A and B are shown apart, each in its own frame.
Chain A
Amino acid sequence: MQETLDRLIREVLHEDPQVWAGSWVVYAAALLAVGFGLTVFGALVAGLTSWWERRIAARMQSRIGPNRVGPQGTLQFLADALKLIVKEDLVPPESDQMLFRIAPYFVMTGFALTFVVLPFGYHLSATRMNVGLFYLIAVTALVVVGIMLSGWASNSKWALFGGMRAAAQVVSYEIPGGMLALVPILMAGSLDLHEIIRAQGGFPWDWFVFQTPWGFIAFFLFFATQLAEGNRTPFDLPEAESELVAGYMTEYSGIRFGYYFLAEWGNLWVMSAVISTLFLGGWQVPFVSAETLAGWEAAGTVPVAFYGVSTAVFVTKVVVLMNVIIWVRWTLPRIRVDQMMSVCWKYLVPIGMGLVLLAALTEVLSFQLFGDAAKGPAPLGTPRGALHLAFFAVAGAVPTVLFFRKIFRNIRLTGDRIDLTNW
């Protein structure tokens, strides 16, 4: 970002950014503006997702859902937020007053800090870090601290149980999550989110999920660990309403209650963006190969449209993933606490370790076989590209075709039809 600002200072203000004292003011103002913009973006995404999720849930349960405020109910989240702001902000007298009040801000901060490195499109992210993915995992830990704090500070049985469950769950699932994230990191050879995306390609067979069997398995398991870390069904035990009232947020009301939901729904975007970056090719546009892009960059003529198209591609992938997460929530029942723990420690952790070893072995073998061409997207003509396409056909295309054949056969046999009329 500094280069852009330096150019701005040089061309608009006609000052030398190296010596001009005012450049610090410009940097600070830009930091504040970008931070504000990203936080607002996160809040808007969270709000719209809340409406979208309620509409999908209603659709899956043959209801209508919120459709009164604004066109199709899109402004429902504003009405909800307004209601939460004007409601009384109750602090239980028995609670730890200060910790009770600050706990939601830990959750909000942990959520907002992720946007510092999240990519949105080609060259579009607040900053690039060589430890980008590490940073993401690190700051999301603040969310757990906030949830535990709220559970403890509320001084209530249900909240304490919820906080303990959240801590046990998120800390446990961070371990397989980190291991499974190592698989695409090994394939890309970098932790920088943009570098990971650039090591993939625009077509599905260039994505890490379809390059090797390890990536394919890791994708689904990583998806599950992300659900668990975001406290989403089937892993929403910390707030299990049938057992714990509302878990860690039982005692909260007003806008502090709203912050938890803001972070939870906003986290859908964060999860989906991370998954799509690591496994689904991120902002890579089909038919724009790595060579074309490198050529544009060398000549300094990256078309403006490419920024837009790559952002559109990325956002599409993220929205599709968010939809899948919402479908999962309204399809699967919640699992039990002991099941949650055994899934993590008895299955995900050992499988994750095995996948990391196999992925590393594959990388070493691939380096022996293909030499310098072992990393990055492989064109179809090369042997590596052909391998990827073959695996894509086996793991991706064929099962998809079979799945849809089965679905259509079932629809034909039962005489049912897909009814989309009541949206």
Chain B
Amino acid sequence: MSAEALLFYVFALCTVVSAGAVVLARGPMTSAMSLVATFFFLAGVYALLWAHTIAVLQVLVYAGAIMVLFLFVIMLLSMTEPEPAMKLNVARVVGALSAVGLGAALIASFWKLPTQPMGWAEDSARAAAFGTLKTVGEIIYTRYLLPFESVSLLLLAAIVGAVVVAKPRI
């Protein structure tokens, strides 16, 4: 087993275990910390895929900014009582359906995997450029410009929504 494969299994196992801990832990703070660990191990998997930019962004955005916001909210709510038993409502059904859908989409992607090794290790020019900030930036601003801009529109809508919710009278 090569070192990459060994590292991959370490990262993958840790990702799955800590992701399970997010769902199964009783305290919200323990869940949140397991989520931080999940993001870090996932960043390790990205780094093994030579996607350095994505790996760093994963840590920067999720483990950094978003997790701090999560912790902030948990601190403000200070949930000491355990949540009551789950009841079925519309939000839960929709959530479960989207989880199943996402799982199905991920499993379906297994059939799209290339059967032959891609041989990128031999292609040094491609290996040097792949996953760097320059390449990712170029692709985002040319081929995937529309999805990129629609995501920023979504974020703008979220900001406007937050302001409206927080301040009824502006």
Give the interface of A toward B (CB within 8 A). Answer: 24, 27, 96, 98-99, 129-131, 134-135, 137-139, 141-142, 144-145, 148-149, 151-153, 160, 163-164, 167-168, 170-171, 174, 191
Contact = CB atoms under 8 A, between A and B. Distances in A.
A142 B63 contact: yes
How would you classify the secondary structure of chain B's contact residues: helix, strand, loop or mixed? helix
Given A167-B68, A167-B71, A171-B65, A131 B56 contact: yes
Contact of B68 (A130, A138, A148, A191): A148
Nearest to B2: A24
A148 B71 contact: yes
Interface of B: 3, 27, 29-30, 33, 36, 52-53, 56-57, 59-60, 63-65, 67-69, 71-72, 74-75, 132-134
A134 B27 CA distance: 32
Nearest to B63: A141
Given A138-B60, A153-B29, A24 B3 contact: yes
Given A98-B30, A130-B53, A145-B63, 14 more contacts: A27-B3, A99-B29, A99-B33, A131-B56, A134-B53, A134-B57, A137-B60, A141-B59, A144-B64, A144-B68, A148-B68, A151-B75, A167-B72, A171-B65
A135 B46 CA distance: 14
B57 to A, nearest CB: 7
Contacts of A141: 59-60, 63-65, 67-68
B12 to A, nearest CB: 20
Contacts of B33: 99, 149
9 contacts: A96-B29, A134-B57, A139-B59, A141-B65, A141-B67, A142-B63, A144-B68, A164-B75, A168-B72
How would you classify the secondary structure of chain A's contact residues: helix, strand, loop or mixed? helix
B132 A171 contact: no
A152 B68 CA distance: 12
A160 B75 contact: yes
A164 B76 CA distance: 9
A185 to B, nearest CB: 10
Given A148-B75, A167-B72, A130 B65 contact: no
Contacts of A139: 59
Given A131-B52, A134-B60, A99 B30 contact: yes
A164 B56 contact: no
A96 B65 CA distance: 23
Contacts of A191: 133
Q: List 5 tightest A-B contacts by C-beta distance, closest first.
A: A141-B64, A138-B60, A138-B59, A130-B132, A134-B56
